[in-house]
């Protein structure tokens, strides 16, 4: 169980929850789109279960399943066409024609039933292919084309009715397979329902797992992109109509075997019921969105409404009226949802929280440790003109420098005056770096996770995800903002994942939200496993294993504090304050040669931002109502480096009075009497020589001691 650090925020347990955050995260879920149809279905079933006497009986379930199956098959076909960006209004007419044809073949022509089945489905596919040829190859508009074929096929159905119905009505033929199709049971379920389930599974697999399905979705989402990706648009579009026709034909066949009647009205207006069904299910009329399961949920809803109203002996026109209202509401909602969902989520995704902070310490005292100085001014520039955003800097045993770059590169310098040498292209912005005893580099890459690099430049991912927290709405398995790391004595790597809600380039959004979204992770190189050791930590940033190796120091950029997480000893697994209420935003932390630690302040606290932190409503309004560039944000351009003792006492601060060359300092590393500076937005690394008294190895001076 990871240790929970929520208490550090100073807020009560109820602040762990946020309705806005849950709503935003729920809206972001793809399955949320299926929730509304599911709720509607449950409501419809509940409503009729309560009000329609006999709705919840086995007999009714069986009748419902038969009607549902026939509607469902057609709805699956319609879904395929709609996902591909088309529409097929002729499905009802195809259904009617095939119904008539199947009866002719069965009763008048005396064909064997398997042949009738094959021929009926083939005829459906053929009728659908006519649509396909016209739309895919002759480039006619789907709506008008299928409207025309609807009328044409309807005429065929009437012709069949006129010419053959009288003879069919007076011919009887009994066939066990035919009866099995129409009135049979398989494992207690109606044949139609079993067939629907089988077909739905096939369609589901095809749509979600096959190249054909993906291409249909691609075409429906964007024809232009699909064409540019080299897809054969006409062939795929054609196939959707052919399949829709075949499915409508299969449904017509089932109806023929069940009712054994051919009528000019068979399938009349079915396209309306089917469209309503798929739109209820959330299949978008605009194309590119929909699943087999959704189509079935919609079809079941429509079938249940039909069945429920029939049971209540309601006048038939009421059914059409109910469907019309539902279709209208859902079509409008589909449009609004599709258009505004992303915007809505964006507006409410950030749910500002609150931290209880103490007033920032006074840093303007004359002669105090915070007094402004120019010790960083005039630092030697390394890699000027080459580097862009070296967040961290690290040196190997040979004194070679390594640093990252926001372009996703890792650089090496053989010495402070050597030219830059590209070690590897990582793909994401390398942040924290560490070198193990073999000279391999481990690094945190924003948006990607923990990566390892050999000196030769071979990149391997070490940790990109952890086990998902089951009760979190947002999937927190991905390591979204790996920030800094250090290697413990046992070889395990401790690293910070600053935010589970915002990606690397949006780190400031997490600062503005001010909720404990981060965590401390541990990578075990022996097992390759990564586990969460500390959760609900507010923006964990710098990570540093203590001099004795018994604990890890963690910088919280958001709570202006440093905590000690004990790895060994009696307090193992406990979290303890190390330095609280700092006047700046602690970024990275590294060991100093004198037994203390260097900490980089990426920026200094400001009274106005401290106030903003205590006013979540203000920040919510700000992010909702103001454009991004007018937001009030934490100060990230007045940097300094401080020295802090093992006891957590700040003993000195190093400033660049000009704030020009090192606008933001996010990291520093001490090596051989020099301090190297890195900055997330800087164009160089900096190097300053440390005074002799700060370098015990050379000067042999005493360790800086301070009261606890």
Partner 1 sequence: MGTYKQVIVAAGVALTLALTGCTSTRNEGAAEQGAATQPAGSGGLPAIASPQEVIAKSLGAMRGKKVQMITISGDGAALTRAWKERTVLGFREVGVDFTAINANFDTQVLAQQVQTAIDQKPDALILHNADLSGLAKLIQQAQSAGIYVIVLNLGSNAQSDAYIGPNWTAMVGKLAERAAADCKAMNKKDVAIISGFASDTGSLLTVESATQVFKDQGMNLVASQPGQYDPTKANEITRTLLQQHPGLCALIGNWDGMMSGAANAVAQAGKIGQVGVYTTDSSDVACDGIAKGTVAAAVNYGGGTTMGDDAVAVTQYLLQSGVTPGASRTALFTPTQIIDKSNYQLAGSCYAAAAQ
Instruction: Candidates 164-172, 282-290, 631-639, 653-661: pick the segment binding partner 1 (CB under 8 A).
Output: 164-172
Query: Is residue 174 involved in binding partner 1 (CB under 8 A)?
Result: no
Beta-bridge partner residues of 352: none
Is residue 645 within the footprint of partner 1 (CB under 8 A)? no
- In the bound state with partner 1, the residue whose beta carbon lies nearer, of 128 and 252, is 252
Count each helix (H run) and each strand (E run) in the chain, helices first. 18, 27
> Residue 240 corresponds to which tokens in the numbers above?
């959707």
How many residues sit close enough to partner 1 to count as binding (CB under 8 A)? 54
Q: How many CA atoms lie within 13 A of 203 on its CB side?
A: 29
Measured between alpha carbons, how far apart are the two ends of the chain, in Å?
A: 31
Figure out which of the listed residues 191, 239, 266, 682 binds partner 1, where binding follows CB under 8 A: 266
Query: What's the closest the beta carbon of residue 225 comes to partner 1, in angstroms?
Result: 23
- CA of residue 521 relative to chain centroid, distance: 21
Tell me the CB-side half-sphere exposure of residue 514, using CA atoms within 13 A: 27
Nearer to partner 1, 314 or 418 (CB): 314
**Which pair of structure tokens corresponds to residue 533?**
């050791």
Give the dihedral sign, CA 688/693/698/702: negative
680 sits near partner 1 (criterion: CB under 8 A): no
Q: Choose, by CB under 8 A, the member of 315, 528, 607, 700 that binds partner 1.
A: 315
Is residue 316 within the footprint of partner 1 (CB under 8 A)?
Answer: yes
> Residue 470 interacts with partner 1 (CB under 8 A)?
no
Choose, by CB under 8 A, the member of 176, 230, 317, 708 that binds partner 1: 317
In this structure, what DSSP letter does residue 361 have? P
Question: How many Cβ atoms from other residues are within 10 Å of residue 349's Cβ?
Answer: 20
Of 635, 541, 645, the residue nearest 588 (C-alpha): 541
Choices 12-20, 49-57, 386-394, 485-493; region in contact with partner 1 by CB under 8 A: 49-57
Is residue 686 involved in binding partner 1 (CB under 8 A)? no
Instruction: Establish if 49 lies at the interface with partner 1 (CB under 8 A).
Output: yes
Which residue of 90, 146, 149, 255 would you call a contact of partner 1, by CB under 8 A?
Answer: 255
Instruction: Name the 3-class secondary structure at 405.
Output: strand
Q: Considering beta carbons, is residue 258 or 687 the nearer one to partner 1?
A: 258
Residue 529 to residue 521: CA distance in whole angstroms: 10
Stretch that binds partner 1, among 261-269, 345-353, 495-503, 593-601 (CB under 8 A): 261-269
Contact window for partner 1 (CB under 8 A) among 126-134, 158-166, 469-477, 688-696: 158-166
424 phi-psi bin (left φ>0, alpha ψ -120 to 50, beta other):
beta
Of 311-319, 480-488, 489-497, 535-543, the segment contacting partner 1 by CB under 8 A is 311-319
Tokens linked to 281: 């299910």
Contacts with 418 (C-beta within 8 Å, 6 or more apart), sequence order: none
* Residue 311 contacts partner 1 per CB under 8 A: yes
Backbone conformation region of residue 556, classed left if phi is above 0, alpha if psi is from -120 to 50, else beta: beta
In this chain, which of 36, 152, 264, 651 binds partner 1, going by CB under 8 A?
264
User: Are residues 295 and 281 in contact, defined by beta-carbon separation less than 8 angstroms?
Assistant: yes
In the complex with partner 1, which residue's Cβ is closer, 318 or 489? Answer: 318
Stretch that binds partner 1, among 141-149, 252-260, 340-348, 385-393 (CB under 8 A): 252-260
Q: What is the distance between the alpha carbons of residues 467 and 567, in angstroms, rounded to a whole number?
A: 21
Residue 34 touches partner 1, criterion: CB under 8 A: yes
Binding map of partner 1 across residues 510-529, x = CB under 8 A, - = no contact: --------------------
* Distance of alpha carbon 618 from alpha carbon 612, whole angstroms: 7
Q: Which CB, 10 or 166, lies closer to partner 1?
A: 166
Q: What 3-state DSSP class applies to 286? A: coil
CA 591 – CA 544 distance, rounded (Å):
7
**68 vs 349, which CB is nearer to partner 1?**
68
CB-wise, 63 or 701, nearer to partner 1? 63
CB of 24 to partner 1, least distance (A): 19
Task: Tell whether residue 147 is a contact of partner 1 (CB under 8 A).
Answer: no
What is the residue-wise DSSP string for 684-695?
SEEEEEPPGGG-
Minimum Å distance from CB 306 to partner 1?
7
φ/ψ bin of 110: left (φ > 0), alpha (ψ from -120 to 50), beta (otherwise): left
Residue closer to partner 1 by CB (options 204, 571) is 204
Q: Which of residues 178-197 bind partner 1 (CB under 8 A)?
A: 182-183
Contact residue for partner 1 among 222, 232, 310, 635 (CB under 8 A): 310
Give the shortest CB-336-to-partner 1 separation in angstroms.
23
What is the token pair recorded at 577? 């304050």
Tokens, residue 287:
């194309």
Q: Does 530 bind partner 1 (CB under 8 A)?
A: no
- Quickly list DSSP for 209-234: HSHHHHHHHHHHH-HHHHHHTT--HH
Our finding on whether 53 is near partner 1 (CB under 8 A) is yes
Q: Which listed residue (144, 151, 169, 697) binds partner 1 by CB under 8 A?
A: 169
Collect all residues with Cβ–Cβ distance below 8 Å to 30 and sequence separation of at least 6: none
Q: Contact positions toward partner 1, by CB under 8 A?
A: 30-31, 34, 38, 41, 45, 49, 53-54, 56-63, 66-67, 161-166, 168-170, 172, 182-183, 208, 255, 258-268, 293, 306-307, 310-311, 313-317
């Amino acid at each position: 169980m990871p240790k929970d650090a929520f208490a550090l925020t100073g807020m009560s347990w109820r602040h762990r929850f946020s309705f806005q955050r849950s709503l935003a995260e729920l809206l972001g879920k793809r399955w949320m789109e299926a929730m509304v149809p599911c709720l509607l279905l449950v409501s419809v079933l509940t409503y009729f279960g309560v009000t329609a006497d006999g709705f919840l009986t086995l007999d009714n379930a069986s009748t419902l399943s038969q009607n549902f199956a026939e509607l469902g098959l057609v709805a699956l076909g319609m879904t395929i066409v709609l996902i591909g960006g088309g529409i097929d209004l002729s499905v009802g007419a195809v259904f009617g024609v095939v119904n008539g044809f199947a009866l002719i073949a069965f009763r008048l022509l005396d064909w064997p039933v398997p042949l009738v089945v094959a021929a009926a489905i083939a005829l459906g596919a053929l009728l659908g292919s006519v649509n396909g040829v016209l739309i895919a190859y002759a480039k006619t508009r789907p709506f008008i084309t299928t409207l025309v074929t609807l009328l044409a096929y309807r005429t065929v159905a009437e012709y069949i009715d006129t010419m053959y119905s009288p003879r069919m009505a007076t011919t009887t033929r009994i066939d066990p397979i035919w009866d099995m199709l129409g009135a049979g049971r398989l494992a207690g379920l109606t044949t139609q329902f079993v067939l629907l389930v089988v077909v739905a599974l096939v369609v589901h697999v095809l749509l979600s797992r096959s190249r054909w399905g993906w291409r249909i979705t691609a075409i429906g989402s964007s024809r232009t992109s699909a064409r540019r990706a080299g897809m054969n648009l006409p062939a795929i579009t054609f196939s959707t109509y052919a399949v829709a026709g075949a499915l409508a034909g299969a449904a017509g066949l089932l109806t023929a075997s069940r009712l054994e009647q051919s009528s000019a009205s068979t399938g009349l207006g079915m396209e309306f019921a089917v469209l309503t069904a798929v739109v209820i299910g959330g299949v978008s009329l605009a194309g590119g969105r929909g699943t087999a399961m959704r189509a079935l949920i919609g079809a079941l809803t429509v079938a249940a409404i039909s069945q429920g109203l029939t049971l209540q002996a309601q006048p038939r026109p009421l059914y059409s009226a109910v469907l019309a209202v539902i279709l209208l509401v859902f079509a409008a909602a589909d449009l609004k949802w599709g258009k505004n969902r992303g915007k809505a989520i964006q507006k409410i995704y950030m749910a500002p929280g609150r931290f209880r902070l103490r007033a920032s310490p006074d840093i303007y005292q004359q002669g105090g440790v915070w007094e402004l100085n120019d010790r960083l001014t005039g630092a030697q520039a390394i890699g000027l003109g080459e580097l862009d955003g070296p967040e961290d800097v690290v040196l190997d045993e040979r004194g070679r420098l390594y640093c990252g770059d926001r372009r996703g590169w890792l650089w090496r310098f053989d010495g402070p005056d050597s030219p830059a040498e590209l070690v590897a292209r990582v793909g994401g912005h390398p942040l924290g770096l560490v070198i193990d005893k073999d000279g391999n580099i481990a690094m945190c890459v924003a948006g990607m996770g923990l990566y390892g690099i050999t000196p030769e430049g071979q990149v391997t991912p070490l940790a990109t995800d952890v086990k998902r927290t089951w009760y979190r709405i947002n999937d927190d398995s991905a390591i979204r903002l790996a920030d800094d790391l250090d290697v413990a004595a046992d070889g395990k790597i401790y690293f910070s994942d600053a935010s589970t809600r915002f990606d690397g380039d949006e780190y400031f959004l997490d600062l503005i939200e001010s909720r404990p979204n981060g965590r401390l992770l541990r990578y075990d190189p022996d097992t390759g496993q990564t586990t969460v050791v500390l959760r609900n930590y507010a923006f964990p940033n710098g990570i540093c294993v203590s001099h004795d190796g018994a604990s890890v120091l963690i910088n919280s950029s958001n709570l202006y504090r440093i905590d000690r997480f004990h790895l060994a000893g009696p307090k193992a697994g406990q979290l303890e304050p190390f330095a609280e209420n700092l006047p700046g935003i602690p970024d990275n932390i590294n060991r100093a040669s004198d037994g203390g630690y260097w900490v980089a302040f990426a920026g200094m606290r400001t009274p106005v931002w401290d106030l903003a932190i205590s006013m979540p409503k203000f920040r919510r309004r700000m992010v909702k109502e103001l454009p991004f560039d007018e937001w009030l944000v934490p100060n990230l351009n007045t940097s300094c480096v401080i020295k802090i003792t093992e006891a957590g006492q700040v003993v000195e601060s190093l400033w660049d009075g000009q704030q020009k060359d090192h606008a933001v300092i996010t990291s520093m590393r001490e090596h051989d009497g020099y301090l190297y500076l890195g900055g997330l937005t800087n164009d160089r690394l900096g190097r300053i020589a440390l005074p002799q008294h700060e370098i015990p190895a050379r000067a042999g001076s005493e360790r800086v001691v301070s009261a606890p």
